[in-house]
Structure 1
Amino acid sequence: MPEPRQAARLWGHEAAVQRFEESWQSGRLHHAWLISGPAGVGKATLAFHLARKLLGGSDLNSPAGRRISAGTHGDLLEIARKIDPRKGRLKGEITVAEVQPVQTFLHHTATEGGWRVVIVDGVESLNRFAANALLKILEEPPPKAVLFLTTSAPGALLPTLRSRCRPLMLSGLDEQAMRALIPDISADLLRRAHGSPGRALFLAQDRDGLCAGLVEQVMAGTAMDSEMWERVKQIAREGEGFALFCDLFSEALATQARDAAMEGNSLQAAEWAERVRQLAQLRQQTERFNLDKAEALREALALAP
């Protein structure tokens, strides 16, 4: 799949596009939009799709379209987690220093005389200082400026930040769109991806079923032994192993919570939901502070039945 900045077409999310266009055509376009939805469902792609509309770059072969694709358009600024050059991986958070250029950018005259657009991809990754800096910008937006904020965890944002944005909530794509985007997707991956192309590609990285197998073992109540511990350490060494395990384990725990709720056992459902919350917190802290992933996985396994 192409990068969001370079996508020639947006698959799905017609209702979100329509809502934005209605606001634009009314002459009262809101200055900030919060695009939320499952990871990998196309939030950043939608943000760039809407930015192209505002900046006259919907045709990728037009001068504006080519500049957006190349990341050189003077009226478009993207803020996202950056690669840590020392560790060769994404940083755990977006800092205030990375948000400060937004203020300068928005108070300069548009280079092409139209809109200025800012995309903050993964706004839940803003640390406290960065979130407060962005909030000040949202409180006093300059004219002819639009911000698109994307998040997979809207509940983790400051309530005051959410309240200053118009929501665009995205759901999963249908099967036709999924197969168009990933022609060779298997029936199993299609089922497990829940309409998220990014999730399908993410899950496909567990090629030998190492993470899925460990989740199955721990959910079955298998006690930790030396063989399982070696598997944990192997997963921790894989590039996306830790994230994959946490994702699959969280889904298994959430399924238990849903099943308990459907059976009318609210107490047990709450207990499972609390385990999901604890796992999410453990994953976030481990990735943000670059903690030992093998030890974090050992801690995660304690949340199993």
Structure 2
Amino acid sequence: MSAAAEQARGAAVEPDRLDPFSTPRDVDRVFGHDEAIAEFETALRSGRMHHALLLVGPEGIGKATLAYRFARTVLAHGDDGEAGDVPANDPVFRKVAGIAHPNLLVIRRSWVEKSKRYSQWIGVDEVRRLRAFLGNTAGADTWRVVVVDRADELNQNAANALLKALEEPPPRTLFLLVSSAEGRLPVTIRSRTRTLRLAPLADAPLSAAVRAALERDGVEADEKALRLALTLAQGSVRRALELVSGEGIELYDQIIANFEALPALDGAALHKQAEHLAGAGDTERLELYLALLLGLIERLIRAGATGQGASEAEHKLAKALVSKDNLSSWADIWERIFEARAEAFALNLDRSLLVLNTWFGLQELVQEHPVEGAA
């Protein structure tokens, strides 16, 4: 595929973009992940770069942003002994951002015109593009980079096709595989990569990354809401931006109000919430809602066990709902909600019922395991 065709294709296909923010390709600075960057740069300078790197870590912490930083560095400096990032005004930066560099191939989920939605998995036809890309003798004397985002979305046939390329990679080729769910990848693929494990961002780089994104893309945010978003984000830039730019804070407030009412539940209000969350095309809203709910339960469990790690409102909830005697029950319901969420999305089950059953389960837990002395 020509660079012009790839650029046109890239403009239309952005399955994981969080509007209105820039794509990871357009971001000119990585916050945090200093150890991974140092390891990569040392390997490049020494000439001992592994042919395939697997960037693993939680959702939204900058894995794809880091992968494109690595891609720019290799395409600009792979042969000159340099290893620093490429400035935004460099032609290589602009070509990578536009997926217009002839030595870059991006493999990801594709847009299905018939259904007007993105495919659920990366199909084998996407990976088959590797054959022409790697067989292009015009790039044989320079580095070539393949970004697979996200590798855990490869279907079985696509994974098998990628494995063949990983088993016999051409010289001076770097595969960058991005994954938030390493366990979904076949062991055969994992065994042929070098894994870089990336942790959630600490408070300082998280705040810097989120504020930089807001400034870069001209999105205004209330400072109080921003501070709350940073607290709830659990080291994820994407989660913080979802919270501060959309209805995330409103969803969080609804969850807090429901918890404060337990074991009572307002049936009419709960059904209204479920309908709002389960509407067609609202997958991202429901995913955010459930992520916030699961994150809150995690923090309540931690606060119940240690007395630390929660905001004032969450600390009050922990005192009212969680004790050392019922910690295991809270851990069990976290696991049940997590599994029910995965099953509902995988099998396209009734999502309003998922929300209702989640709260009925929480109501039952609080009724059966009350905290002694709680109001």
TM-score by length of 1: 0.85
Contact 2:344 2:350 in 1 (8 A): no
Closer/same/farther in 2, CA of residues 84 and 243 from structure 1, 3 Å limit = farther
Matched, 1:200 2:240: yes
**Of 17-26 and 295-304, the range deviating more from structure 2:** 295-304
In structure 2, what is the Cα distance between the partners aligned to 1:206 and 1:270?
A: 27
Map of 2:147 onto structure 1: 119
Matched, 1:210 2:251: yes
In structure 2, what is the Cα distance between the partners aligned to 1:218 and 1:88?
A: 38
Contact 1:215 1:248 in 2 (8 A): no
SS at match of 1:35: strand
Map of 1:40 onto structure 2: 60
Matched, 1:282 2:343: yes
- Of the three residues 194, 204, 229, the one matched with 1:166 is 194
SS at match of 1:114: coil
Contact 2:149 2:177 in 1 (8 A): yes
Q: Offset at 1:144?
A: 1.1
Contact 2:297 2:330 in 1 (8 A): no
Alignment map for 1:14-93 (pairs within 5 Å): 14-56=34-76, 58-93=86-121
In structure 2, what is the Cα distance between the partners aligned to 1:53 and 1:138?
A: 21
In structure 1, what is the Cα distance between the partners aligned to 2:252 and 2:284?
A: 10
SS at match of 1:65: helix
Alpha-carbon displacement from aligned partner over 1:181-234 (angstroms, at most 9, x marks no partner):
333562211111122211101223225623551475269344572331121101
Closer/same/farther in 2, CA of residues 18 and 264 from structure 1, 3 Å limit = farther
Q: Offset at 1:260?
A: 7.8
The runs of 5 or more residues in structure 2 that have no matched partner are 1-20, 78-85, 212-220, 307-323, 366-375
Matched, 1:231 2:273: yes
Q: Offset at 1:33?
A: 0.7
Q: Offset at 1:113?
A: 3.1
In structure 1, what is the Cα distance between the partners aligned to 2:169 and 2:264?
A: 55
In structure 2, what is the Cα distance between the partners aligned to 1:112 and 1:128?
A: 29
In structure 1, what is the Cα distance between the partners aligned to 2:269 and 2:329?
A: 31
**Of 221-230 and 41-50, the range deviating more from structure 2:** 221-230
In structure 2, what is the Cα distance between the partners aligned to 1:273 and 1:160?
A: 31
Matched, 1:149 2:177: yes
CA RMSD in angstroms, aligned pairs only: 2.9
**Of 137-146 and 29-38, the range deviating more from structure 2:** 137-146
Closer/same/farther in 2, CA of residues 276 and 292 from structure 1, 3 Å limit = closer
**Of 101-110 and 197-206, the range deviating more from structure 2:** 101-110
In structure 1, what is the Cα distance between the partners aligned to 2:128 and 2:256?
A: 42
Contact 2:294 2:334 in 1 (8 A): no
Closer/same/farther in 2, CA of residues 86 and 59 from structure 1, 3 Å limit = same
Matched, 1:245 2:289: yes
Identity of aligned residues (%): 33
Contact 1:233 1:294 in 2 (8 A): yes
- Of the three residues 127, 131, 153, the one matched with 1:103 is 131
- Of the three residues 281, 297, 301, the one matched with 2:355 is 297
Closer/same/farther in 2, CA of residues 149 and 277 from structure 1, 3 Å limit = same
In structure 2, what is the Cα distance between the partners aligned to 1:5 and 1:233?
A: 36
Alpha-carbon displacement from aligned partner over 1:13-51 (angstroms, at most 9, x marks no partner):
111011112222222211111111121111000000000
TM-score by length of 2: 0.71
Matched, 1:133 2:161: yes
Closer/same/farther in 2, CA of residues 293 and 124 from structure 1, 3 Å limit = same
SS at match of 1:78: strand
Matched, 1:179 2:207: yes
In structure 2, what is the Cα distance between the partners aligned to 1:265 and 1:154?
A: 32
The aligned length equals 302
The runs of 5 or more residues in structure 1 that have no matched partner are none
SS at match of 2:139: coil
